[in-house]
Amino acid sequence: MNNIRKALGVLALLFGAASTAPALAAPNNLPELGAGPAAKAAIAQDKLRKDAVCTRCHDETEQAPILSLYQTKHGVRGDARTPSCQSCHGESDAHVKAPSGGGTGGKRPPPDVQFKKGGAYPVSHDKARGQTCLTCHDGGNRTHWDGAQHDRSGVACNDCHQVHKPKDRMLAKATQPEVCYTCHKKQRAETHRVSTHPIDAGKVTCSDCHNPHGSTGEKLVKKNNVNETCFSCHAEKRGPFLWQHTSANDDCMNCHTPHGSTVSPLLKARGPWLCQQCHGEVAQHPGAIYSGASIPGGPQGAQPPSQIAFRGCVNCHNAIHGSNHPAGRSFLR
11-50 residues in contact with other proteins (CB under 8 A) are 11, 14-15, 17-19, 21-22, 24-26, 28-34, 37-38, 40-45, 48-49
- What are the two backbone dihedrals, phi and then psi, of residue 195, each rounded to the nearest 5 degrees? -115, 120
Exposed/middle/buried for residue 126 (C-beta within 10 Å: 0-12, 13-18, 19+): middle
Least distance from C-beta 290 to other proteins, angstroms? 9
Nearest to 292 by CA among 273, 274, 318: 273
Looking at residues 50 to 89 of the shown chain, list those that interact with other proteins (rule: CB under 8 A): 51-52, 55-56, 59-60, 65, 67-68, 70-71, 73, 75-81
* Nearest CB to other proteins, comparing residues 146 and 168: 146
Cβ at position 211, least distance to other proteins in Å: 11
CB of 111 to other proteins, least distance (A): 17
Q: Cβ(212)–Cβ(206) under 8 Å?
A: yes
Q: Which stretch binds other proteins (CB under 8 A): 87-95, 96-104, 106-114, 240-248?
A: 240-248
Our finding on whether 100 is near other proteins (CB under 8 A) is no
Q: Residue 296 Cβ, how far from other proteins at the closest point, in Å?
A: 5
Binding mask 189-228 for other proteins (x = CB under 8 A): xx-xxx---x-xxxx----------x-x-x-----xx--x
Best CA proximity match to 254, nearest among 281, 222, 218, 227: 227
Interface pick for other proteins out of 105, 158, 249, 252 (rule CB under 8 A): 249
Residue 238 binds other proteins (CB under 8 A): yes
Among 161, 162, 210, 243, binds other proteins (CB under 8 A): 243
| Residue from 109, 168, 169, 231 in contact with other proteins (CB under 8 A) | 231
CA–CA separation, 38 and 41 (whole Å):
5
Q: How many angstroms separate the CA atoms of 256 and 234, rounded?
A: 13
Write the DSSP string, 216-232. Answer: SSGGGBSSSSHHHHHHT
Position among 88, 113, 148, 206 found at the interface with other proteins (CB under 8 A): 148
What is the biggest distance separating any 2 CA atoms in the chain, rounded to whole angstroms? 90
Burial classification of residue 272, based on how many CB atoms lie within 10 Å of its CB (0-12 exposed, 13-18 middle, 19 or more buried):
buried
Which residues in 120-139 contact other proteins (CB under 8 A)? 122-123, 135-136, 138-139
Cα 63 vs. chain centroid, distance in angstroms?
Answer: 31
- To other proteins, the closest distance from the beta carbon of 154 in angstroms equals 6
List all residues 6 or more positions away from 19 whose beta carbon is below 8 Å from its beta carbon.
none
- Asked if residue 161 binds other proteins (CB under 8 A), the reply is no
Please count the residues of this chain forming the interface with other proteins, following the rule CB under 8 A.
Answer: 160
Minimum separation from the CB atom of position 210 to other proteins (A): 16
The Cα 160–Cα 130 span in angstroms is 11
Torsion sign across C-alpha atoms 293, 298, 300, 302: positive
Site for other proteins in 269-328 (CB under 8 A): 269-270, 273, 276-278, 280-285, 287-289, 291-293, 295-300, 303-306, 308-312, 314-319, 323-328
Per the DSSP assignment, residues forming a β-bridge with 129 are none
Looking at beta carbons only, is 18 or 99 nearer to other proteins?
A: 18
In the complex with other proteins, which residue's Cβ is closer, 103 or 198?
198
The distance of closest approach from Cβ of residue 251 to other proteins in the complex, given in angstroms and rounded to an integer, is 7
Specify whether the CB–CB gap between 197 and 190 falls below 8 A: no
Positive or negative CA dihedral for 8, 9, 14, 17? positive
How far apart are CB 112 and other proteins at their closest, in Å? 15
